[in-house]
Amino acid sequence: MERPPAAARVELFTNTFDLESGRDELSTPEDLTRWLREQGLVGAGTRADEADHRAFTDLRAGLRAALDGADADPHALARGDALLAELPLLASLSPCQRTLVPDPDLGPVRAACASLALDWVRLVTTGDVARLKRCAEHTCLWVFWDGSRNQSRRWCSMRVCGNRTKSRRHSERERRARTRD
C-alpha cells in the first residue's frame, strides 16, 4: 500500500529525534523554525519561541507514545493531549473545504502544529495509523510506514535493525547451547 501524505508527514516529524544517536533535529526553537520552513509549514518571517518549541516536542513525544499502543508512556500521552486541547480545529461546511482545518486565529507556528495533529487524525480516521509503526529494534524505535500486504513488518530496515536483532538472538542461542554442553 502506498504511504499517504499524512503518514509521510507524521513519520518525518516523529523521526526528528533519533534515539540511537541522541540527535534531535528540533533541539532549539531555531531548529524548529528551520524544520518548519523546510517542510513548508511556515513562511520566511515566522519564528518559533520557547513555548512553541515545547508544544512541538510534547506533540512529537505524544505521537511516538501513541504508536506504542499498550506500552505507551502515559505522561507523554497526557502532555500531547493537553497540547491538542489548546489547538482548536474547525469543521467546515463549505463545499470547497469540507474538512477539519486549524483555527485561522492560531498563529503560524501553532497552525503548523495543528496541521500535524490533523495528519494524525486523518490516519486514525482512515485506519491507516495501523501501518505506522515503531521499529522493534530496542536501540532504534524509528517510526516507519509498513506497506507490506499483511502489515507484518517489524523493523524500519531489515538490513540494519532486522539483521541486528536476528544476529543478537542467534548469538544468544549459541551462547546458551555452549553453556549447556
- Residues 140-169 have pLDDT tens digits of 888 999 988 898 888 887 676 866 666 666
Say how far apart CA 42 and CA 126 lie, in whole Å: 27
Helix (H, G, I), strand (E, B) or coil at 7: helix
Task: Kindly report the three-state secondary structure assignment for every residue of 117-128.
Answer: HHHHHHHHHHCH
Say how far apart CA 129 and CA 137 lie, in whole Å: 20
- Residues 12-23 have pLDDT tens digits of 999 999 988 899
The whole-model pTM stands at: 0.83
Q: How confident is the model at residue 178 (pLDDT cuts 50, 70, 90)?
A: confident
From 119, 136, 137, select the one nearest 128 (Cα to Cα): 119
On the question of pLDDT at 123 being above 70, the answer is yes
Q: What pLDDT score does 74 carry?
A: 92
Establish how many alpha carbons lie within 13 A of residue 114's alpha carbon, considering only the half-sphere containing its beta carbon. 18
Say how far apart CA 116 and CA 137 lie, in whole Å: 26
